[in-house]
Each structure stands twice: as C-alpha cells, then as structure tokens.
Amino acid sequence: MISTTIDQEIKKAMLAKNSAQLRGLRAIKAALLLAKTEKGSSEEITEETELKILQKLIKQRRESADIYKQQNREDLYQVEEEEIEVINQFLPKQLDRAEVAVIIETVIKQSGATSVKDMGKVMGMANKELAGKADGKLIAEIVKEKLA
C-alpha cells in the first residue's frame, strides 16, 4: 500500500530537509486521508483507488503548471513540476504511445468496435486495462485515431 510508504518517505524528507519532496509527499498523504474519510467509503482504500488519486493529483498539477507557464510565473511552474516528479515516483511506469496503441488495438478487437460510435465501449475497456499505466487523454486520443 502506498500510504504506509508515504509515511516513511515523509520522515526521510524531513530529516534530509528536502522541502520539494516533503511538499509532494504531504499532498499525497492529504489526498489519501481525504479519500479514507469521505462519506460512504470503506475503512481501507484499495491500491487501484490510490493509483487513481495519484493520477488525479498529477493531472491537477499539470493543469496548474500549464497556466503558470502561460502567465510567465516560472517560480510557481517549478513548484508544480517538482511535485509532479515526487508523485510520479509512486505510480507504475507509464507506457509510451506505441505500447498504449498496441493494447488499444487488442481492446478494439475484443470489443468488436468498428466506428467512432463505439468509442464509449472501447474507452471503458481501455481505461480498465490501462489503469495507472497511461494518461486518460492519451488513451482517448489513440482510441479516436484507431476508430476513425
């Protein structure tokens, strides 16, 4: 489980006085705690849920970093990039575009999809197959290309 590793890493970052690492780790811990205490959630969150939370954190930071970059706020952009780097350490290796395309082709064959009208069905299966291994935007882009 990621949550137990995070606690140990926070201690290491505090001892090393690594503020960038510490900031990213605390963001992860806060998001995981929030997920645990949400109404209707079970006592323990699954590893799959943890991965979804981490991906959400990265997506939020990427969006913020893009805005900061557009506004020439290099200082704030750098903070977001550092946190993305820290969060990425806890995600499985991300697949590159070619690897994702191969998996999506297999999913399309399994689902019997033939046109863009079947995109929803393919996306559902592809997202399950590639959970935590690829960005949703990339998956959607490739599925659209393959079905067009």
Residue-wise pLDDT tens for the chain (148 aa)? 787 889 999 999 999 999 999 999 999 999 988 888 886 666 677 877 888 889 899 999 999 999 999 999 999 999 999 999 999 888 888 888 898 899 999 988 888 888 888 888 888 888 888 877 887 888 889 988 888 7
Question: How confident is the model at residue 43, as a pLDDT?
Answer: 65
Domains of the chain by residue range: 2-89, 97-147
Question: How confident is the model at residue 69, as a pLDDT?
Answer: 95
CATH number of 2-89: 1.10.1510.10
| Secondary structure (DSSP) of 85-105 | HHHHTTSPPPPPHHHHHHHHH
Question: How confident is the model at residue 64, as a pLDDT?
Answer: 95
Angle at 119 between CA 143 and CA 64, to 5 degrees: 65
CATH number of 97-147: 1.10.10.410
Cα 52 from Cα 124, distance rounded (Å): 15
Write down the pTM of the prediction: 0.75
Question: How confident is the model at residue 119, as a pLDDT?
Answer: 86
| Secondary structure (DSSP) of 38-86 | STT--SS--HHHHHHHHHHHHHHHHHHHHHHHHTT-HHHHHHHHHHHHH
- Collapsing DSSP states into helix, strand and coil, what is residue 125? helix
